[in-house]
Structure 1
Amino acid sequence: MKICPVCQKEVTGRRDKIYCSPACKSTQQYEQRLEEEAFYFEVDRQLKKNRRILRKYNQVGMTTLRQEVLLSEGFNPRFFTHYWKNGKGQVYFFCYEFGYLSLQEQGKEKYVLVTWQAYMHPANRSKN
């Protein structure tokens, strides 16, 4: 007697049948896919959270904010989609169209929040 690995019911039918029903087979495949893609979902969730937080605090296109404000809301600076380096060599990290530059002013960690601009695009680099 075989037992379904999902619901623990008896499996009837063909000798090589593993699940008791198509629903149990689907459930198993769905859970397996979630386990395999857990890292992807975690990264995607954090990128969206970072974007939402940056958008919330950058309503005018550019602003400066204490680092602790963003971090207290769950912002994680290790997650970003791309970066841009300005002429001074400063690196801005972006979560989609909202970016940040880490600075230290008067002993305090701060972020300069910006919005992606056309001149930042790599194709426009030679024009500057």
Structure 2
Amino acid sequence: MERQCTYCKEQIEGRVGKKFCSSYCRSAFYYQKNKEKEYSLFRKIDKQLKKNRKVLKGYNKAGLVTIRKEKLLKEGFNPKYFTHYWKNNKGQVYLFCYEYGFLNITEKQKEKYILIQWQSYMNKS
């Protein structure tokens, strides 16, 4: 019975359970298989959004707080990942991770975030 390599389809010689003709084909096959996992980027983004939400929730117990930016960054917060935004009457744009939002400000030459929670009046554009 003739067996074929799983990767290159060449004939395999050797033991009965062998799936690849060479270590190159075995390595190339698993590299290609892992490369094709589409959800890996999705999982990375989803993990960071959840991390951001957890950090914002942890520091925003009162619904409105100002905190140093560096403090959030040390906790693993990444402001590049957010789910949506809201623009207030002053034209300031708050970025949100689910129901927790943040606004980047500079106060006394220090970068800070104003943290807020989503409110029902924010639905009206």
TM-score (norm 1): 0.73
Q: Following TM superposition, by how much is the alpha carbon of 1:79 offset from its aligned partner in structure 2, in angstroms?
A: 0.2
1:102-121 correspondence to structure 2 within 5 Å: 102-121=104-123
Q: CA deviation at 1:37?
A: 1.5
Q: Would the aligned equivalents of 1:2 and 1:10 in 2 still touch at CA under 8 Å?
A: no
Q: Structure 1, residues 99-122: CA drift from partner, whole Å, max 9, x if none?
A: 00000001000000000000101x
**CA 1:61–1:34 in 2, change beyond 3 Å: closer, same or farther?**
farther
| Equivalent position amino acid for 2:89 in 1 | G
Q: Which runs of 5+ in 2 are unaligned?
A: 8-16, 20-29
- Residue by residue over 1:11-48, the C-alpha shift from the partner in whole angstroms, topping out at 9 and shown as x without a partner, is 6xxxxxxxxxxxxxxxx8xx659722111111100000
Alpha-carbon shift at residue 97 of structure 1 (Å): 0.1
Task: Give the aligned length.
Answer: 103
Q: Which residue of 1 aligns with 2:52?
A: 50
The structure number with the bigger radius of gyration is 2
Secondary structure of the structure 1 residue equivalent to 2:78 = coil
RMSD of aligned alpha carbons: 2.1
Unaligned 5+ segments in structure 1 are 12-27
